[in-house]
Amino acid sequence: MKEDIAPVEGGGVTTPRGFLASGVACGIKAGGEKDLSLICSERAGHVVGLFTENRVPAAPVVLSRRHAALGNGRAVVINSGNANACTGPAGMANATEMVNRVAAGIGCPPEEVFVCSTGRIGIPLPMAKVRKGIDLALGRLSPQGGKDAALGILTTDTYPKTMGLRVSLGEQELFLGGMAKGAGMIDPRLATMLCVVTTDADVSDEAFTLAARRSVAESFNRISIDGDCSTNDTVLVFANGLARNRTLTPESGEFRLFQSALSLLMGRLARMIVEDGEGISKVVEVLVQGAADEEDAERAARAVAHSLLVKCSWYGEDPNWGRILAAIGYSGASVDGNRVDIFYNGVQAVAAGTRARTSARLVQEAVRLPQFTILIDLGIGSGHCRLLTSDLTERYVRLNKGE
């Protein structure tokens, strides 16, 4: 299967056939960086939208959720530097105006256009700048615009996160592309994160929805930097069918290949978000197995990934497995402390709930690495969960102290 899925060098949202993009600077950001992006398909197609579980959603989330329920999509406009969240009726009016302006510019119903915003909460959008930015972005749409679009959605990110894939279906080929942003306020549960994925695959509504939801569950819903769930998290997946392949359905073998490609794409974008996390120095994979069920495994994994004490110990390169045991104990998962085993990069630190007969030096060496894995075996059942997270440094505090 690996030879059937291959990366596309320099790939992004315009890698699939029929997708155009642009990214411009319209003055929302004071420094003159790109701050408005537009992605558009030459024709409407299927769309799946997944959104934040935060109960104080931003106006763009409320509006895009309504449009996603209709199932058809043509374009998405995204601004950075301003979240348009907690901005009242004016915020909804501004989000609606952004959608209507794009729809008029490309000639489609407003319901086929989506809107995302990211940045500081509670500040009204400077709509005069946004209007000019949308008009500029409409005029610059091109198949080469994916890179600029990826730059236009960044906030505290240090680099754009993009990927493209080619999928071979016998003599036919289809493509997938994506871009994402996110570095802080990351704990999606649908980290501040946005993601747009495009494909030219011809795929049935049922298969497309199934593939998108599975891929998000395995990727963006399995990362956490600081445990904060944003007001603006959005994942939009567009399929325009221009590959003209035989329609993929959940029962077809080709669908399984498409699912693998989509999961690979989202998984890589999600990992980029963690690797670029605000102020992080280490990427940590938390694996929980032997839980009573899948839900318990996730409870335990998230408790470890969210624990400030655990994250600080990782930054200090101190294994301090007692903090991990404590987090598991209060996670709400079923736990028998006398059955828990913990491994750092394969080196056992805890055996049956107590210190293992392992050299402390070997465990210490594991947490000194920039990336390492912690395996927690609860020894109760068959439930398991994988979650990608990070340490916590003083740089994170400096980046988020409000200045």
* Residues identified as active-site: 192
DSSP 17: T
Closest CA relative to residue 61, chosen from 183, 221, 233, 187: 233
Tally Cβ neighbours within 10 Å of residue 370: 11
Closest CA relative to residue 239, chosen from 196, 268, 194: 196
Residue 281 tokens read as 């120095």
C-alpha–C-alpha distance, residues 349 and 322, integer Å: 10
Closest CA relative to residue 284, chosen from 328, 244, 224, 237: 224
DSSP 112: G
Q: How far is CA 382 from CA 276, 290, 366, 378, in A?
A: 33, 5, 26, 9
DSSP 400: T
C-alpha–C-alpha distance, residues 353 and 55, integer Å: 38
Q: Are 297 and 317 in contact (CB under 8 A)?
A: no
User: Which helix H or strand E contains 105, and what residues bound it?
Assistant: helix 88-106
Using the Cα atoms of residue 22, residue 26, residue 27 and residue 28 in order, give the sign of their dihedral: negative
Closest CA relative to residue 260, chosen from 215, 220, 301: 215
Give every CB contact of residue 127 below 8 A, 6+ residues apart in sequence: 94, 97
Per DSSP, helices labelled H in 239-350 are 253-275, 294-306, 308-315, 321-330
Q: Are 50 and 180 in contact (CB under 8 A)?
A: no
